[in-house]
Amino acid sequence: MVKEQTYTDPVINILRVVLGVFVGIFLLITLFQAFYTVPAGYRGVVLTFGSPSMASAGEGLHFKIPYAQSVALMSVQTRKYEADAAAASKDLQIVSANIATNFKLEASMVPAIYRDLGLAFEPNIIAPAEQETVKAVTAKFTAEELITRREEVRLEMKELLKQKLAFRGIIVEEVSITNFDFSQSFNEAIEAKVTAEQLKLKAERDLERIKVEAEQVEAQAIGQKNAVIAEAEGRAAAIRIIQQQLDSSPNYIEYLKVEKWNGKLPVVTGNAVPLISGLSMNQETP
């Protein structure tokens, strides 16, 4: 008995192969779509058909429903937001400041932040809060105090900004005032004041120097005076001693003459014999 052979259209075979390939690719893609990774320093917000869940995914590998769910990653690392702000000081000086805020997101509030603020929370929330903070704090200080009490100003800005952003789930770690700019007239007034202070200090130093020099001259004069007095007292003492010797010995002057004699006789002309005062000459003249 001869078996009947069935005929298969080659086109159908090709279609089956192509369909199998597409199904395999789809299954692979679906498998990969079912897993996602949250890197270090991030939290994942799972969106089911665009609606965020109220629990965030931590770091590591996670599962999600393919095509129905997607994941938005949000950083919880510390970062910096920097902006310029203008305000008026207590004495109505216009002040421009550059404020840098170091902040991070509260990990447990990441889903609420994404739902309420989205990813553009820096320009929409932090920037206005910085502007309000600068205006509120600057109005409490004069322009000069903003310079001399800069650290106090910075700390007050930091505390106020913390209060404004805490309920939003934004943690303020540090606030820095990188620059203060004032009007030209105020800068000129400050420069004039600094110059006056420098001149005052120079005058005080000069006065102190003159005072020291005068004291030195006075001390030198006193020293010279004391030296003259000491010399005079020494001479007076010597005179008193000599007078005492004269009173006790009338021949004391003759003794002094002999003590100072150099042993030479004076030269005289004629037959006269030189005599030494105070000495007795027993020899006869030839």
Phi/psi at 242 (5° precision): -60, -40
- The answer as to CATH 3.10.20.740 being correct for domain 79-182 is no
- Contact between residue 156 and residue 85 where contact means Cβ atoms under 8 Å apart: no
pLDDT at 254: 67
Where exactly are the structural domains of the chain? 10-74, 79-182, 196-253
Max mean pLDDT among 65-69, 164-168, 228-232, 248-252 falls in 164-168
Residue type at position 25: I
Q: Which of 81, 66, 75, 186 is nearest to 123 (CA)?
A: 81
pTM of structure: 0.57
pLDDT at 271: 54
The contacts of residue 63 (CB under 8 Å, 6+ apart) are 34, 35
pLDDT at 279: 46
DSSP-derived secondary structure for 250-273: TTHHHHHHHHH--SPPPP-SSSPP
pLDDT at 232: 79
In this prediction, residue 4 has a pLDDT band, given cuts at 50, 70 and 90, of: low
- Contact between residue 114 and residue 170 where contact means Cβ atoms under 8 Å apart: no
Max mean pLDDT among 26-40, 146-160, 188-202, 248-262 falls in 146-160
pLDDT digits (tens, 9 = 90+) for 146-204: 888 999 999 999 999 999 999 999 999 999 998 888 777 676 666 677 677 777 877 78
pLDDT digits (tens, 9 = 90+) for 105-154: 999 899 999 988 888 889 899 999 999 999 999 999 988 888 889 999 99
Phi/psi at 197 (5° precision): -65, -40
CA distances to 92, 109, 154, 174, 219 from 177, rounded to whole Å, are 20, 28, 7, 10, 55
The contacts of residue 47 (CB under 8 Å, 6+ apart) are 53, 69, 70, 71, 72
- The average confidence (pLDDT) of the chain is 80
Q: Tell me how far apart the alpha carbons of residues 14 and 62 are, in angstroms, rounded to a whole number.
A: 38
